[in-house]
Each structure stands twice: as structure tokens, then as C-alpha cells.
Chains A and B, each alone.
Chain A
Amino acid sequence: MKATREAIPAVLTELAKGGADIVALDADLAKSTGLDKFAAAFPDRFFDCGVAEQNMIGTANGLAAAGKTVFVGGFTVFTVGRAWDQLRNVTCYANLNVKICSSHAGISVGEDGATHQTFEDIALLRMLPTMKILVPADYWQAAEMLRAAAALDGPVFVRIGRPKVPFVYDESYKFEFGQAEVLRPGADVTLIGCGVTVKMALDAATELAEDGIHAEVINAATIKPLDEDTIIASAAKTGRVVTAEEHSVIGGLGGAVAEVLSENLPTPLRRVGLADRYGKSAPYEELFPFFGITAEEIAAAAREML
């Protein structure tokens, strides 16, 4: 178990040591993002903007316009929510090299509750032209995505979370931008996850297999641009699709898959996720069952269609 956010200081320090022309900003949350460790290693490459998220993105825009690749931290709810206009009207419109690696996305934030959790960040960013959205399922994938973010042209959002989460991959993992990964082949139903729900989808597939149901499991790690071909091909094979995410069922992975399938290959679909509601406080392990985002719910959604 390791938190995806632990990849932030590790990868940024590695990039800077390798000579990458990067700068990191935070908004008084460097201890949460781990950017304090990056700051200790590269003090003149880090600026703490204080509790001022709009200024953080605005400053990042200026740094990027002057040639830097800028990683911005903070909590996702504020970096993306409070500073959305700054992202919309400058970062994305001007296609600047601003990479959002804020932490505490999703409801896995836990005890801090609804004001600090996110269920809308993917939706908010998905509609912005030039933005790329990557959702890591574990530490290793997060590390690879941060490397990819530095290499990609223009704005990138890596959706990083707070808690320690189980490994799906190992150190040898290589991320391919824009590629959905088929983690387990199956012919009866397609289970598509991203982030923490990838492990849940794998567990659901194991559970379904006990009843002789063969589920195909896909990690839609790149939400934008979405790998439509892989998703359509799997839906064509299985004829049933379940999506799962710690995000609203509106506008996130489920919304994106619904758009792709209804235009290309109308397929029965169930979306597991937050049902148009806010999160709440609780230890995060209790929140997932509370909101119906579990391996069992994914398996149940699959059975409904069989």
C-alpha cells in the first residue's frame, strides 16, 4: 500500500535532478502534496503562494508563458474549483505547460468531508480543450503519469489521492498516454474503472468468475483523450458495460463512456459512482460502502444486465 501522492516529491525531484526545467507551486499544502520535500531539495524551484489558489494558477501561467514547466499542488477541490477560471481562460486557452498534481481528489479524502472531497473535478476539466486527464490506480501508475505530464505539451491533470491504496502494478510499470489497459480479458461483461476503482473492478471480476461469469477489466487511466477504440471493442465483445469511479456519475468516466458508446455502439451500461450528491465525513474505507462504490456493487451492477 502506498499513496499516489507520495509519487509527487519522488518524481519531481527525479525530474529536476535530471535537468528538467520545472518549477513547483503550492498553496499552503506542501506538506500534503509532499512538495515540501521537493522544496528542500530545490529551494529556488519552489514557491509557496500561501492560501491563494487563483494567484497560484495565475503565477503558474506566467512562469509557463516564460518557458517553464510548472507543477501546481494544493487540494484538488480548491486548485481546480477556486481557480477554474484561471485554468479555463489562460492555462488551457493558451495551452500552457501547467501540470496539476494537486492532492486529495475524490471521496477517499475521508474525514475532512464534503468541502474537501471532489466528485466534479474530472467533469470540470474534461470539457476544457487542450486539457489532458490522467487518473492513477496506484503509486506506480501515478509516478509514471507525473513523468508523462512533464513530457506532454500543454496542460495536464493527474488525479492524485490522499490515502494509501493497494498496488495494481509494480516498479516495472510503463504508462502509455491515451491507452486504456485491458487488465483481465473476459467475454461476458466489461468493467471499466479508473483510480481506486480499478482494484475494485478486478475484485469484482474475481467474484463474478466464481459464478462462471467472465468479466473483462479495463483501466481507463487516460480519461482525456479517452481510448474510444479499446472501449468500443470490448463493448462489442461483451455487450454489457459497468463503469466505476470515485466521482459523480455525471461528467466523469461514466459520463464519458456513455457518450462514446451511445454514439458508436449503444450498449447496456451501469454507472457506479457518486449519484449526484456531495460526499461526507468518515474514515474513507467506510465511505465507499456508504456511497455504493465497492467491488460488490460493481459485481451486482454487472449481474443486473446478465
Chain B
Amino acid sequence: MIVNNNCLYCGACAGVCVADAIDVQELKIVIDEEKCTKCGLCVKTCPVAAIEME
């Protein structure tokens, strides 16, 4: 999972992540690759297309 510079740490992606894999920190988000199931819901939810799946 790659988070690009469009991200403004709003947390919309973390809210829908069933795996609770997204940590919204103050100035960045961190995706726990071990928890992530690659479901893609965060990618779809992000209003500014900030998450890309490799």
C-alpha cells in the first residue's frame, strides 16, 4: 500500500478498514501491512485518491 502526498490524514479510510490496519497520526497515516487484507475499501473511500495498491 502506498500513501501519496494527496493525503491530509482525515481518517475516512481508517473508519472503513475492517482490519483496523490504518493508524491516523498527526501528520501521516501508517498502514499495518501485516493486518491489511488488501480489500481495497480504503482506496475507494479516500476522497482524494491518496492510497494506491501495488
Asked if chains A and B come from one complex, the reply is: no
